[in-house]
Every structure is written in C-alpha cells, then in structure tokens.
Amino acid sequence: METLNDKLKGKQLELEYPCNWCYKVIATEEEALKQAVHDVIQEREHKISPSNNSKTGKYISMNLDLLVQNEDDRTFIFDALKKHQDIKMVL
C-alpha cells in the first residue's frame, strides 16, 4: 500500500503565502520557552498554547501559531527557535 510519504517523496511542500503556521516547541521550563519565543519573534502577533508534558515532567511542549510571510520567514523562525539555548526541539 502506498503511503502519503511515498506520494510526496522528492516533492517540496507547496504553500500559498502568507499563511498561518504552527510550530511545536519543546523545552524544560514554560517561562524559558515563552521568553525564547519572544526573543525570536519579538513583537509579532502570535498565539502560544499548551500542548503536552513528558511522562516524567522533564519536558513541556507548546504550540506556537503565527502568520508567516514566505518560505524564508518560515524557515528563519524554525532555525532561530532550534538554535535558542532554552529550546530543546522544534517540530
């Protein structure tokens, strides 16, 4: 059976910009995560909402929703969040 990943293999995601985008951001502390988001996106309008906590409570994840203007904007935010010292992972 062919999966969606099989169908999309070798193809780039086509989006119409500007569009809303959601990043899942994972860290160890909620306030540090929120500050990291602020450090990256500054005063841009956004919504941050709780997602999941790890079973042991060591990690928290939150959803960051905001309007991205183009592919460069989307990947810049992803890379900047990923490189931030207080962020463990970005999906």
Segment 8-33, tens digit of pLDDT: 677 777 889 999 999 999 999 999 99
Q: What is the pLDDT of residue 43?
A: 92
Name the pTM for this structure: 0.84
Q: How far is CA 71 from CA 3, 14, 29, in A?
A: 26, 10, 29
Q: What is the pLDDT of residue 8?
A: 67
Q: What is the pLDDT of residue 54?
A: 85
Low-confidence ranges of the chain (pLDDT < 70): 4-5, 7-8
Q: What is the pLDDT of residue 9?
A: 74
